[in-house]
């Protein structure tokens, strides 16, 4: 019994160190998962008070302004020298994730040099991009004429659609993004785990 008592604090101390190391790893993973997809340098050029609605209504007044928008892809088309992504605008959160609410202020087009695979940059995927406003182009939605703001993108992020397996009985749908959490327990022991944001 005397030997067991001497070894017990050492074992608890060792376990505590391992738990701290595990927390550090999970914390770093959490930071990586929450990192903004648009570089800090690019975001520093953007006027945070410039809203999509202003661009949508008076695009010619904001030509060459740096902007950051996002939303849900309608379609992706490739041309000889560029790709164009038609997007339904969604508000962005502080990490650049587009909102999943059924609310939008209109549509716009991301223009990017090169080629984008339409089967990957496909309808229903979420996207965030930053670049320069380039005026408008008139197109059609069904039979209605529509003025699309054009954004020549410098940085572009296609978001993962987080799917789930029904075998696990999860209620998390395909648009939940993961986050790491650190819970509280008793004594030296704490709970670690993986949760989901509703995005």
What was the pLDDT predicted at 199? 43
Q: Describe the chain by its helix, strand, coil percentages, rounded to 5.
A: 25, 35, 40
Model confidence pLDDT, tens digit, residues 132-151: 999 999 999 999 999 999 99
Q: HSE on the CB side for 72, CA within 13 Å? A: 14
Residue 107 φ/ψ region, left for φ over 0, alpha for ψ in the -120 to 50 degree band, beta for the rest: beta
- The Cβ of residue 79 has, within 10 Å, a number of other Cβ atoms equal to 9
Alpha helix segments (H runs only) across the chain: 2-33, 40-44, 52-57
For range 78-95, the mean pLDDT: 96
Nearest residue to 155 via CA among 54, 93, 66: 66
User: In the chain, which segments carry CATH 2.40.50.140?
Assistant: 40-158
Query: Which of the following CATH numbers is that of domain 40-158: 3.40.50.2300, 2.60.120.330, 2.40.50.140, 3.10.20.30?
Result: 2.40.50.140
What was the pLDDT predicted at 96? 93
Exposed e or buried b for every residue in 8-21, given b needs 16+ CB within 10 A?
Answer: eeeeeeeeeeeeee
Model confidence pLDDT, tens digit, residues 19-71: 666 666 565 555 455 688 899 999 999 998 999 999 999 999 999 999 999 99
What was the pLDDT predicted at 166? 39
User: Which of 6-10, 54-58, 98-102 has the least mean pLDDT?
Assistant: 6-10
For range 82-86, the mean pLDDT: 98
């Amino acid at each position: 019994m005397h030997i067991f008592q001497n070894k017990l604090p050492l074992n608890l101390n060792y376990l505590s160190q391992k738990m701290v190391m595990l927390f550090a790893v999970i914390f770093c993973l959490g930071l990586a998962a929450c990192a903004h997809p648009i570089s800090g340098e690019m975001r520093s050029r953007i006027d945070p008070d410039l809203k999509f609605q202003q661009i949508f209504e008076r695009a010619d007044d904001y030509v060459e302004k740096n902007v950051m928008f996002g939303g849900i892809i309608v379609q992706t088309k490739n041309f000889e020298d560029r790709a164009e992504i038609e997007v339904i605008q969604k508000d962005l959160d502080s990490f650049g994730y587009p909102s999943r609410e059924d609310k939008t202020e209109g549509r716009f087009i991301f223009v990017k040099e090169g080629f984008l695979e339409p089967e990957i940059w496909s309808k229903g995927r979420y996207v965030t991009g930053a670049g320069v406003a380039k005026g408008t182009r008139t197109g059609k939605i069904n039979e209605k004429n529509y003025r699309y703001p054009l954004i020549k993108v410098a940085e572009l992020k296609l978001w993962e659609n987080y799917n789930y397996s029904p075998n696990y009985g999860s209620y998390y749908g395909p648009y939940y993004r993961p986050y790491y959490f650190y819970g509280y327990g008793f004594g030296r022991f704490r709970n670690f785990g993986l949760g989901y944001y509703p995005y």
